[in-house]
Amino acid sequence: MKKYFLKSKTLLALNFIFITMCSASSVILAFILRQITDISYGGEIDRLKSVLYLMAGYSVLMGILGFIKRILRRLFIKNTMYNLKKDIFNNLISRKISSFSLENSANYISAINNDTGIVEQEYFLSLLDSFDYVITFIIATFAIFKLNTYVAIAILLSGFIPMLVPTIFQKELGKRKKEYSDGIGSFTTKIKDIFTGFEVIKSFNIEEKIKEDFQHSNESLETKKYRSGFFESIANTISEFFGFVVFFVPLGLGTYLTLNGQFTAGGMVASVQLTNYIVNPVLNFSYILTKIKGAKPINEKLCNMINESNGEEEGASKEEFRELIQFENISFSYNEERKILDNISFSINKGEKIAIVGKSGSGKSTLLKLLLRYYENYDGEIKLDDKSIKDISLTSLYKLISIIQQNVFMFDDSIKANVALYGDYTDEEIDNAIRNSGLEELLKNLPMGKDSSVGENGSNLSGGEKQRISIARALVKNTPIILLDEATGSLDSKTAYEIENSLLGIEGLTSIVITHKLSEELLSKYDKILVLDKGQIIEMGSFDELIDEEGYFYSLFNVEKAA
């Protein structure tokens, strides 16, 4: 985290300069007080006027310096927080899908919103404050030595006790802060789930249960916050107590010296003022040290997030797909419990159209996910033209392969933007994709056509319309390989047929299509049908071959036909 503190060097240096100027100016106040007191004790009325002018000038100077110091502090924090959030976000957005999905996305939201807020308050601002305190302490110490050596030594000796407090409480406080930060993560996850599932909650009448659930999380988070604050309060109270002790030691000694005639009344007043500038920084410094040390686990959490390798640039680039996709003896499990794919081998020539069929849960989608490198911990090898996909960078892999899925995420933007996905396409390319995905009918009924908004996550569109947008996205990308995962599931039979049929008609396009609709007309157009059961390919061949075999596919097909 230090790296971010030191990044805006010029602003940091300016902050240090103005902090030093403000601290030095504050200490001067003690000497003005000494002068005023001595004038009043000495009855020197003619010197009063010049001291009054001095005080007026001093007030104006302090006002100006204080203002500049505050603005510089805000500018510094603005730059530092911008850099920190940018790095966290950049790492998250460039992660591989497999590594991103390891955590709930609400935890990422919480890290960017809440954890950075904690780091801003407890680390960056505290570091600036600690510099302020150290400088004030040094200048005031120097000044009090000038006034009286005994008083100075007494303050310094007793002044370091409160500094021990943070060391005692650091570990416990850090633990509780981390607990609180993790709590915010779970709380954000809960709220996100509730609002995402709003319709289900309403239609299944489970509001009361959800309210109870929410209150439970709410209470648990507030308790964690209280516990973290409670420990902080104990640490602060102990620091404060020692602060008073420290304050009274030199005060007593100063009075004693004044009574013995070894100190002037003005010197006494000045030393009381200077004691403030020594005791308060020591007190605040110990308090701030507690905060800085307490923020350590959160700093580490964010640094780990930033430094985690996202693997994005692993692998070489591959510009084109020339001839073959090969799955060689692929076995895979999401976890130790169950094998999802079991020794799968097949190949697809460029331009071929492959259909994958099989019962729900047989591993069809998983097969496509492996081709997209969502997971890499499989046995066997998947190759694109003799090159293992693990050796191809994700950026170039996704320039060669696009996927159309059943669940489509929509950005709250126009239809056009959702099709182009911020890519650089001509209007003609976008219009072609819109036509081939069957979106034209929808656009005719919208006054703003393709510039109409789709709403939050496509709330203005039907399930089928969202699927057509997803198909248009893949078409406009114009990759040589397209994967369809149940992509026409929510379309009416006619539209589904038309879209699948038009994809099958694209010359040279290699497509792998997972389908549940066993339509003879469509399936007979595929070069090959893969039949999956319990993670294994149990049959493979053209539609006619599989029907002639009268095996598993034949019975699946007949069940569907009878339905």
Ligand X SMILES: Nc1ncnc2c1ncn2[C@@H]1O[C@H](COP(=O)(O)OP(=O)(O)OP(=O)(O)O)[C@@H](O)[C@H]1O
CA distance 281 to 106: 39
Q: Considering the complex, what minimum distance in angstroms separates the CB of residue 467 from ligand X?
A: 15
* Minimum CB distance to ligand X smaller for 464 or for 489: 489
- All residues at 6 or more sequence positions from 421 whose CB lies less than 8 Å from its CB, including other chains: 411, 473
Q: Considering the complex, what minimum distance in angstroms separates the CB of residue 380 from ligand X?
A: 16
* Minimum CB distance to ligand X smaller for 307 or for 360: 360
3-state SS track over 422-465: CCCCCHHHHHHHHHHCCCHHHHHCCCCHHHCECCHHHCCCCHHH
Q: Considering the complex, what minimum distance in angstroms separates the CB of residue 392 from ligand X?
A: 22
Sign of CA pseudo-dihedral 394, 399, 401, 405: positive
* Minimum CB distance to ligand X smaller for 89 or for 375: 375
Distances in whole angstroms, Cα of residue 260 to Cα of each of 144, 253, 254: 19, 11, 10
* Minimum CB distance to ligand X smaller for 359 or for 435: 359
Q: Are residues 325 and 333 in contact, defined by beta-carbon separation less than 8 angstroms?
A: no
Q: Considering the complex, what minimum distance in angstroms separates the CB of residue 368 from ligand X?
A: 8
CA distance 411 to 102: 23
Per-residue burial over 535-561, b = 16 or more CB atoms within 10 Å of its CB, e = otherwise: bbbebbbebeebbeeeebbeebbeeee
Q: Considering the complex, what minimum distance in angstroms separates the CB of residue 333 from ligand X?
A: 8
One-letter amino acid at 151 equals V
Instruction: Report residue 108 as tokens.
Output: 């990422």
One-letter amino acid at 308 equals E
Residue keyed to tokens 């039907």 = 462
* Minimum CB distance to ligand X smaller for 362 or for 437: 362
* Minimum CB distance to ligand X smaller for 364 or for 450: 364
* Minimum CB distance to ligand X smaller for 148 or for 515: 515
* Minimum CB distance to ligand X smaller for 126 or for 362: 362
Q: Considering the complex, what minimum distance in angstroms separates the CB of residue 336 from ligand X?
A: 11
CA triple 499-504-507, angle to 5 deg? 125
CA distance 278 to 272: 10
* Minimum CB distance to ligand X smaller for 147 or for 496: 496
Q: Considering the complex, what minimum distance in angstroms separates the CB of residue 395 from ligand X?
A: 24
Touching ligand X, residues 310-369 (CB under 6 A): 334, 340, 358, 360-366
Q: Considering the complex, what minimum distance in angstroms separates the CB of residue 110 from ligand X?
A: 22
* Minimum CB distance to ligand X smaller for 8 or for 365: 365
CA distance 76 to 436: 52
Q: Are residues 31 and 272 in contact, defined by beta-carbon separation less than 8 angstroms?
A: no
Rg, Å, the chain Cα set: 35
Residue 407 binding ligand X, by CB under 6 A: no
CA distance 320 to 74: 50
Q: Considering the complex, what minimum distance in angstroms separates the CB of residue 552 from ligand X?
A: 14
Q: Considering the complex, what minimum distance in angstroms separates the CB of residue 530 from ligand X?
A: 11
CA distance 272 to 29: 11
Residues that contact ligand X, how many (by CB under 6 A): 10
* Minimum CB distance to ligand X smaller for 159 or for 363: 363
* Minimum CB distance to ligand X smaller for 364 or for 473: 364
Q: Considering the complex, what minimum distance in angstroms separates the CB of residue 374 from ligand X?
A: 9
* Minimum CB distance to ligand X smaller for 1 or for 354: 354
Q: Considering the complex, what minimum distance in angstroms separates the CB of residue 516 from ligand X?
A: 7
Per-residue contact string for residues 515-554; x = within reach of ligand X by CB under 6 A:
----------------------------------------
Q: For residue 383, what are the β-bridge partners?
A: 326, 388
Instruction: Report residue 318 as tokens.
Output: 């591959």
Distances in whole angstroms, Cα of residue 285 to Cα of each of 32, 129, 531: 26, 8, 70
Per-residue contact string for residues 26-65; x = within reach of ligand X by CB under 6 A:
----------------------------------------
Per-residue contact string for residues 102-141; x = within reach of ligand X by CB under 6 A:
----------------------------------------
CA distance 80 to 295: 16
Per-residue contact string for residues 230-249; x = within reach of ligand X by CB under 6 A:
--------------------
- Burial level of 234, CB count in 10 A (0-12/13-18/19+)? middle
- Burial level of 385, CB count in 10 A (0-12/13-18/19+)? middle
Binding site for ligand X (CB under 6 A): 334, 340, 358, 360-366
